[in-house]
Amino acid sequence: MSSWPVSSDTARRALAGARGAGRSGPDVLDTWARVAWNLLTEPGDGPAGALIAECGAAQALEIAVRGLPAPAHLSADVDRGRERWMPRWRPEGIAEACAAAARAGVHLIVPGDPSWPAPVDDLGSHRPVVLWVRGSDELLRPAGGAVALVGARAATGYGEHVAGELAADLAGSGTTVVSGAAYGIDGAAHRAALSVGGTTLAFLAGGADRPYPAGHSQLIDRIATSGAVISEAPCGAAPTKWRFLQRNRLIAAISDATVVVEAGWRSGSLNTAGHAASLGRPLGAVPGPITSTASAGCHRLMRDYDARCITSADDVRELLGWEDGTLLPAVNGNRTDRTTRVMDALSVRAERDLTQIARSCGLAPAEVEAELGILALSGGVERGRSGWRRVASWKR
């Protein structure tokens, strides 16, 4: 790896505020180059994504900036790409973006980080080059599954009620509720998840330091405190129309299923649904009165996109394939937290018995036992002769 255009030390210093001290992870120059790409491109830039996937972020950057030849099958796309990328090229922007993030309490995660959400990799060359997170980035790999609850800003009382009921039930039983922090359905879903002490993630179109809409600043702050507020755009970025549409693809990609609660005929949430469908993620829609224009988009999804008709949280679990809750028993409190605590109490090498683990993580033995059972099913832990151990290769 050449140290073009900066040395590892310079790169490390540039990233420091946003990456935290002593944070392990991929190569520092790769991370630095990813931030560079993040500043050069708009979200979902396919040619950039393809070039990075092929050559790695650092070499891809060198190809783009220094005009080195790109792999033949990408070269035409890269030539066109340079025209939009190069006007934005300012190497000093990387340190500035990370410093801005550090000031706002936003940190940076990149592919290869333990908390990088693997499902977004399904976006292929359209996957984000980095993610900026305000809150706990560990929550981006939810052990209890994640469901997107999205819908119209111009929601009715009915829609907000239903969004709240679904979110409270799902979040209360350990499923992460993902949404976009907008007025209407999104807000109702986040609020209900918070109200039951569940986990909720908000994806923003602009920078993670820019609560949008402004009227949801407090809500977004609360989400950042117990959950996470995520953006693909660097701090300070405005929530443009394009970034909204691309934000929607992240909501769909990170979630195991997407449910549209209420949506007009041309609601933006249908775009999220479209992403979910094209990613092969299960799609649901909540019906409503056919006399309500706020449900017209949901009915359209059922008719034209085979969205499942969702009438309860159980229907959502069925959509996820957890029909009887076998894999996901209702638990009190935050499933993700419990998983983390149990995993923290385990060793990859030494086997530990239930009493030791319970004492170590401060949970009741029965809770630990339930959690170990679930983790065993998903391959996270193994039972040995004298107790349990953690499986090194398992990633949440």
Query: Which residue type is seen at 46?
Result: G
| Residue 239 preceded by cis peptide, ω within 30 | no
Contact 168, 143 (CB under 8 A): no
Residue from 20, 67, 215, 289 in contact with a copy of itself (CB under 8 A) = 289
Q: Name 137's Cβ contacts closer than 8 Å, sequence gap at least 6.
A: 107, 109, 113, 115, 131, 228
CA distance linking residue 15 with residue 32, whole number of Å: 7
> With CB under 8 A as the contact rule, which of the stretches 75-83, 199-207, 215-223, 297-305 interacts with a copy of itself?
297-305
Is residue 312 a contact residue for a copy of itself (CB under 8 A)? yes
- Residue 257 tokens read as 């299923």
Tokens 């929607």 -> residue: 248
Angstrom CA distances, 5 to 66, 87, 109, 229, stand at 10, 17, 21, 32
Give the range of 13-21, 40-48, 120-128, 287-295 binding a copy of itself by CB under 8 A: 287-295
Please give the structure tokens belonging to residue 60: 């891809």
User: Least distance to a copy of itself from the beta carbon of 299, Å?
Assistant: 5
Residues 129-188 that bind a copy of itself (CB under 8 A): 158, 161-162
Among 68, 309, 348, 350, binds a copy of itself (CB under 8 A): 309
Query: What is the length of the chain?
Result: 396
- Least separation, in Å, of the C-beta of 286 and a copy of itself? 6
d(CA 32, CA 3): 11
List residues bridging with 352 in a β-sheet.
388
Q: Is 313 in the site for a copy of itself (CB under 8 A)?
A: no
* 288 touching a copy of itself, by CB under 8 A: yes
Binding flag, residue 294, a copy of itself (CB under 8 A)? no
By CB under 8 A, the residues from 63 to 102 that bind a copy of itself are none
**Contact indicator for 267, 286 with CB cutoff of 8 Å:** no
Smallest distance from a copy of itself to CB 61, Å: 49
Beta carbon of residue 330, minimum distance to a copy of itself (angstroms, whole number): 21
CB of 295 to a copy of itself, least distance (A): 7
**323 sits near a copy of itself (criterion: CB under 8 A):** no
Binding residues for a copy of itself, total number by CB under 8 A: 20
Nearer to a copy of itself (CB atom), residue 306 or residue 353: 306
Q: Which residues of 208-239 are buried (b: 16+ CB within 10 A; e: fewer)?
A: bbbbbeeebeebbebbbebbbbbbbbbbebeb
Specify the stretch interacting with a copy of itself by CB under 8 A; choose among 167-175, 245-253, 292-300, 379-387: 292-300
Asked if 286 touches a copy of itself (CB under 8 A), the answer is: yes
Kindly tell me which of 222 and 308 has the beta carbon lying closer to a copy of itself: 308
Q: Which stretch binds a copy of itself (CB under 8 A): 37-45, 114-122, 196-204, 296-304?
A: 296-304
| 267 lines the binding site for a copy of itself (CB under 8 A) | no
> Which member of 287, 329, 333, 387 binds a copy of itself (CB under 8 A)?
287
| Calpha distance 313→177 (Å, rounded) | 12
Q: Which of 153, 299, 335, 341 binds a copy of itself (CB under 8 A)?
A: 299
Give exposure, 53-74, as e/b (b: 16+ Cβ within 10 Å): bebbbbbbbbbbbeeeebeeeb
Of 2, 24, 218, 291, the one binding a copy of itself (CB under 8 A) is 291
Angle at 233 between CA 231 and CA 234, to 5 degrees: 105
- Which position among 58, 64, 296, 374 is part of the footprint of a copy of itself (CB under 8 A)? 296
**Residues in the site for a copy of itself, rule: CB under 8 A?**
158, 161-162, 286-291, 295-296, 299, 302-303, 308-312, 315
